[in-house]
Homo-oligomer: A and B are copies of this chain.
């Protein structure tokens, strides 16, 4: 109570002092600055206060943990009563109103927070779910993590995130780590080439859902875009504009999204009685670098190419950069379509036509599945959820014309 008040008033003071404080700091630093080169990656450290005065003195050096036992003692009741009250079982146990108030009062006065660790151990449920992502800084995966975090928080779960750095062996370690932390469920965006460890997890009975890069023959829950249909949409668009020779900038071969996108394209071409030419496929990753290199290779190898289909946004960005270098006009000399949207695709040098994935929906779906699977005590289902994509036409596509 007392502490709370102090904190608040300081919070206010902060706003009042904001500008002047900041200016003060700046003056002190002014001298130093000019001694460093402008773009050196250094950071300035300030230690404005001596350790011995003001606020700091009220601070304990170790986190102070108030236990239920202490609350009970302070309230003059047994731990069981305290526990029951604080878990809302007061009336179920006919605890007197007076006792209840007493306990509640003391608890909030002491700022009691039940140890979730102890709780987890006792209840045999951690209320945590694990999320394993190949690259948290990739906006696609970040958005998915976010949806999952928001959705499961609403159900009282916390999320442990782990970044596998696009590496299967790390993914394997991390899932193990999360299991030993007793997560109640696992959402993983697999790196996508070998998933045997995921199968092991699944067989152990831990609820698991795979997102984006899945394994169609693994009998577990999976959610991805309908890559195949998305590719179809892109292909139809290109074909309608008269394109017959389409270069493909692929991502990581062997992964489900890559193969499905390729498959959708191939089928569509065949349906239009065009032969499938493996020579037109190039690339080895979902990265900008890969897109850049394959564009250069494809364009020099095959001058008859009139359009490029990039299997990811970074692949498309690489293509943009490569065409810029070669002085090729998009879309006049070459059309480009991309899979995957980025927020500013429409503000690019040439606004990029794109097969958009419904990222929020993918995330929400994954969250819903894992929660449901945790709460239902039934054995995990095998369900593959394919989320519909949407094609957005932008000016990077035009009628086919020879380069």
Contact = CB atoms under 8 A, between A and B. Distances in A.
Nearest to A24: B216
Nearest to A14: B217
Interface stretch (A137-145, A243-251, A299-307): A137-145
A163 interface: yes
A252 to B, nearest CB: 13
A13 interface: yes
A201 to B, nearest CB: 9
Contacts of A202: 59
A60 B378 CA distance: 10
A39 B388 contact: yes
Given A163-B150, A204-B64, A216 B18 contact: yes
A160 interface: yes
A182 B321 CA distance: 48
A380 B390 CA distance: 51
A108 interface: no
A229 interface: yes
A360 to B, nearest CB: 9
Contacts of A180: 113-116
A13 B215 CA distance: 11
Nearest to A199: B7
Nearest to A262: B19
A7 B121 contact: no
A41 B204 contact: no
A259 interface: yes
Interface of A: 3-4, 7-8, 10-11, 13-15, 17-19, 21-23, 25-26, 33, 36, 38-49, 51, 54-56, 58-65, 113-118, 120-121, 126, 128, 135-139, 142-143, 145-146, 149-150, 153, 158-163, 165, 176-182, 194-197, 199-200, 202-206, 215-219, 223, 226, 228-229, 233, 254, 256, 259-260, 263, 267, 317, 320-321, 342-344, 347-349, 351, 358, 361, 365, 377-388, 390-391
Given A39-B391, A63-B206, A160-B161, 8 more contacts: A21-B216, A25-B384, A43-B388, A51-B381, A59-B203, A64-B205, A138-B142, A158-B162
29 contacts: A7-B196, A7-B197, A10-B218, A11-B196, A18-B216, A25-B216, A26-B263, A41-B358, A43-B361, A48-B219, A48-B384, A51-B379, A60-B203, A60-B205, A61-B378, A64-B205, A113-B176, A115-B121, A115-B180, A115-B182, A117-B182, A149-B163, A161-B161, A317-B343, A342-B344, A344-B344, A344-B348, A348-B348, A349-B351
